Amino acid sequence: MNVALGDAGVVIALTASIVGAITIIVAQRSGDERLLRTGAKVAWLVVFGAVLSFVALERALITRDFSMRFVFENGSHRTPPLYNFATAWAALEGTLVLWGLVLAGYLGVVLTKFRTRLADPLVAWAIVVMLAVCVFFFGLMIGPGDPFTRVIIPEGFVDGPGPNPLLQNNPLMAVHPPMLYLGYVGFTVPFAFALAALITGRVGEGWLVETRRWTLFAWGFLSLGIVLGAWWSYDVLGWGGYWGWDPVENVSFLPWLTGTAYLHSVMIQERRGMLRVWNLSLLCATFSLTILGTFITRSGVLESVHAFSEGSIGPMFLAFFGVVSVVSIGLIGWRGDRLRAPGRIDSPLSREGSFLANNVLFAIFAFVILLGTVFPLIVEALRDERISVGVPYFERMTMPVGMVMLFLMAIAPVLPWRKASGELLRTRLEWPAWIGVGSMVLALALGGRGFTALLAFGLAGFAGGAALRQIVLATRRNGWRGLVGRTNGGMIVHLGVILVAVAFAASNSYLRQSEFTIEQGETIEFADSTFRYDGIEIEDRSEKRVTAALVTVDGQVLRPAINQFAIGTTIGTPDTLGGFTRDIQIALIALPDDNGDAVVIRVTTQPLIAWLWIGGILIAVGTVFSAFPHRIHRRPIDPVSVAPGGSATGGALPTDEPTPVGAAESA
């Protein structure tokens, strides 16, 4: 029954995607509004089919229906309920079902929001583009990525292997992947409107206003997903880190970089009508990079702790990536005459000038990471040689770019539009500069050493001072509402990013790590802390045996463990003593042997790790605050419904965004 329900859901979603897209295209060409509404109703069947297929997959996992191949290969009676539910996205085919569910969910929200504006060609074509993307993903579920195939249960079969042990060792497995998918798939909406604007010739600023929040929330989900992934890595792998420039980590970071660049440069287009080609290119690149990242993680072309096994699905993603890229470039070239910007940058010493410099840096950052990620694949394809690009390349190449970006984060918020005077800059940057100097002095007083780390602390203080200055001015004038709006919510996001940068610099620069062989009752000293090994504690669970070493650290007991799963796999789980100033993490490397009771532990100490997670929370909060207007204004014109040749294809439209504090001060 589960197989039948799942197959029915996929067929319904795929058929509805094809029929809905064709119906809306025909309705657009004929001007038949009734047929257009019919096409929208058909599109709702995509949502129904996606939900049905996901429910069927979860039902099969919950009931342990081993007649379904996906459950046979990934399910187990021993798997705890939370991880059994999350098994739906623990393997290749299940991730496609989750992708289809999230994509259909976004489609449903678009259909709901624009239900009264279906006659607008821009909206109609955006829905068509989303349906075309649905055709690809649900087509994969019928073809090489079918999760609902049957299997003959062999005689004597008792239980399945369950998901990869690494994927059932931390509750973040239930949160991190869906959060990433909400970010990845969320970029489909602004991408669809970008293509619709190119198809209809409505390439002005109107479509930007309507899709800004879609992009912002997709970016926010992706940001939170990346931070949760770092947290998961830190809590589970026990190597003392959270970001190793793994190829799969990199491909999640690439669309974040281009999406961040777009969120900055789109303000120039809305305000001044400039950078139209650049913004369309950034949106198309962001969506394309999500597809490229999916190809890399699902093709078997690389070895990674995150990657899925090799299959025939990789070439399909690569082909789709090629189609998306060619169509995007072709449409931008076709509409080149309409994309000429009516404005220009008056001075590099202006807000638009700083945003443009910011975009160049984001592009360089993304190119460096993309090159380091795909270069080994290119070499292997051309020369049949396996090479690797290690952490030193990424750190050496990205560090200077990151420093300059911190500097721009301090400068940009205080710059007015069009042009700034030297006197104005001196006035507005005085206190941020002193905060930056104070940050360096404080770091030195607390024992910080090393030019790079101290420079990072100083620039972070400088940028943080500029962001705090903006927030203080806004809240002084408007109370708590001064925290709301793109400008001020963006400053909260800046503070979150700055905290992440500080935590990254401190934890990497001042990490201390060593391995010890320690007897029961023995005490050692390391990194100004005392460690005493008190013995072994064993706990048997349905899916694994947990053997923990009891280690007392400065009076508190930690339990680093080695987990022996029923399928024969053994993995470790570190334990961490966290604090606002320093984390102490212990990983159990080896259990006592037959000749004694000594264990081998790895001790890692890192300062300010907690601020990495606090920074992620601030990014999420700032994203929400940025999505809502500072003041509610009635829009004189519906920007989506402006016909070609109207104000939507001319200069910037009136928006609900207030005058930035910096601009108000310069008036």
Given a cut of 70, whether residue 343 has pLDDT beyond it is no
Which of 263, 304, 167, 297 lies closest to 494, judged by CA?
Answer: 263
Q: How far apart are CA 429 and CA 415, in angstroms?
A: 10
Task: Answer whether 215's CB lies under 8 Å from 259's CB.
Answer: yes
Backbone angles phi, psi at 553, to 5 degrees: -115, 110
Task: Answer whether 576's CB lies under 8 Å from 565's CB.
Answer: no
Comparing 645 with 148, the larger pLDDT belongs to 148
Confidence of residue 300 (pLDDT cuts 50, 70, 90): low
Given a cut of 70, whether residue 386 has pLDDT beyond it is yes
Within 13 Å, how many C-alpha atoms sit on residue 618's CB side?
22
* % of the chain residues with pLDDT over 70: 90
Given a cut of 70, whether residue 665 has pLDDT beyond it is no
Regarding pTM above 0.85, the answer is yes
Between 486-509 and 451-478, two packed helices, what is the crossing angle to 10 degrees? 160
Given a cut of 90, whether residue 302 has pLDDT beyond it is no
Q: How far apart are CA 82 and CA 473, in angstroms?
A: 46
Handedness of CA 448, 453, 455, 457 (dihedral sign): negative
Average pLDDT over residues 323-333: 92
Backbone angles phi, psi at 571, to 5 degrees: -135, 155
Instruction: Sort residue 156 into left (φ over 0), alpha (ψ -120 to 50) or beta.
Output: left
Task: Answer whether 648's CB lies under 8 Å from 617's CB.
Answer: no
Given a cut of 50, whether residue 306 has pLDDT beyond it is no
Report the pLDDT value the prediction gives residue 649, as an integer from 0 to 100: 36
Comparing 472 with 326, the larger pLDDT belongs to 326
Report the pLDDT value the prediction gives residue 471, as an integer from 0 to 100: 86
The SS3 of residue 575 is: strand
Task: Answer whether 208's CB lies under 8 Å from 269's CB.
Answer: yes
Select the highest-mean-pLDDT range: 235-249, 440-454, 521-535. 521-535
Give the number of other Cβ atoms within 10 Å of residue 341's Cβ.
Answer: 16
- Render the burial of 7-22: b for 16+ CB within 10 Å, e for the rest: bebbbbbbbbbbbbbe
Which of 41, 175, 26 lies closest to 98, judged by CA?
Answer: 175
Handedness of CA 296, 300, 302, 307 (dihedral sign): positive
Report the pLDDT value the prediction gives residue 667, as an integer from 0 to 100: 28
Average pLDDT over residues 71-86: 91
Q: How far apart are CA 91 and CA 168, in angstroms?
A: 13
Report the pLDDT value the prediction gives residue 629, as an integer from 0 to 100: 67
Task: Answer whether 70's CB lies under 8 Å from 160's CB.
Answer: no
Report the pLDDT value the prediction gives residue 485, as an integer from 0 to 100: 73
CA 266 to chain CA centroid, Å, is 19
Lowest mean pLDDT among 148-157, 178-187, 333-342: 333-342
Q: How far apart are CA 628 and CA 295, in angstroms?
A: 35
Given a cut of 60, whether residue 446 has pLDDT beyond it is yes
Given a cut of 90, whether residue 298 has pLDDT beyond it is no
Given a cut of 50, whether residue 638 has pLDDT beyond it is no
Report the pLDDT value the prediction gives residue 645, as an integer from 0 to 100: 41
Beta bridge partners of 571: 563
Chain mean pLDDT for the chain: 84
Report the pLDDT value the prediction gives residue 297, as an integer from 0 to 100: 76
Which of 56, 40, 63 lies closest to 94, judged by CA?
Answer: 56
CA 80 to chain CA centroid, Å, is 27
First to last CA, the chain: 69
Average pLDDT over residues 384-407: 86
Handedness of CA 170, 175, 178, 182 (dihedral sign): negative
Given a cut of 80, whether residue 544 has pLDDT beyond it is yes
Report the pLDDT value the prediction gives residue 641, as an integer from 0 to 100: 37
Report the pLDDT value the prediction gives residue 186, as an integer from 0 to 100: 94
Lowest mean pLDDT among 80-94, 100-114, 436-450, 620-634: 620-634
Report the pLDDT value the prediction gives residue 626, as an integer from 0 to 100: 86
Handedness of CA 310, 324, 356, 375 (dihedral sign): positive
Strand 512-518 versus strand 561-565 pairing type = unpaired
Q: How far apart are CA 609 and CA 503, in angstroms?
A: 6
Task: Answer whether 255's CB lies under 8 Å from 290's CB.
Answer: yes
Radius of gyration of the chain (CA): 27
Task: Answer whether 262's CB lies under 8 Å from 284's CB.
Answer: no
Average pLDDT over residues 403-417: 85
Average pLDDT over residues 642-665: 37
- Render the burial of 357-374: b for 16+ CB within 10 Å, e for the rest: bbbebbbbbbebbbebbb
Report the pLDDT value the prediction gives residue 659, as an integer from 0 to 100: 36
Lowest mean pLDDT among 362-371, 441-450, 549-558: 441-450
Q: How far apart are CA 232 and CA 249, in angstroms?
A: 12
Which of 257, 33, 50 lies closest to 135, judged by CA?
Answer: 50
Write out pLDDT tens, residues 221-276.
999 999 999 998 888 877 767 888 888 888 889 999 999 999 888 888 777 777 78
- Going by C-beta distance under 8 Å and a sequence separation of 6 or more, which residues neighbour residue 326? none
Burial zone of 426 (CB within 10 Å; 0-12 exposed, 13-18 middle, 19+ buried): exposed
Write out pLDDT tens, residues 153-204.
888 888 888 888 888 888 888 999 999 999 999 999 999 999 999 998 887 7
Which of 638, 650, 649, 651 lies closest to 197, judged by CA?
Answer: 649
Given a cut of 50, whether residue 648 has pLDDT beyond it is no
- Render the burial of 230-254: b for 16+ CB within 10 Å, e for the rest: bbbbbbbbbbbbbbbbbbbbbbbbb
Report the pLDDT value the prediction gives residue 620, as an integer from 0 to 100: 92
Largest CA distance in the chain: 85
The SS3 of residue 531 is: strand
